Amino acid sequence: MVQFESWASFFAMGGHGLYVWLAYGATFLVLAISYLSVRGARKRLQQELSWLSGEGGGATQEEETKL
């Protein structure tokens, strides 16, 4: 059952809004950053390694980016 009568009372959290939203905000921020950091590292690695592995094929990729 929904515990709040309006969006305003939902955001206010019975006067504890600042604390509740600070805790949830920090949690989801930390999770988002953790996810993005590992995904970013993976993408950089893939780029680096596929360039390294392409002694033959990498050259065409390099040419493609030049064009």
Q: Between 4 and 43, how does the x/- string for binding to other proteins read (CB under 8 A)?
A: x-----x--xxxxx-xx-xxx-xxx-xx-xxx-xxx-xx-
Nearest residue (CB) to other proteins, 23 versus 59: 23
The CB-side HSE value for 26 (13 A sphere, CA atoms) comes to 5
Per-position b or e across 18-57, b if 16+ CB within 10 A of its CB: eeeeeeeeeeeeeeeeeeeeeeeeeeeeeeeeeeeeeeee
In the complex, the smallest distance separating the C-beta of residue 13 from other proteins, rounded to whole angstroms, is 4
Residues that bind other proteins (CB under 8 A): 1-4, 10, 13-17, 19-20, 22-24, 26-28, 30-31, 33-35, 37-39, 41-42, 45-46, 49-50, 52-54, 57
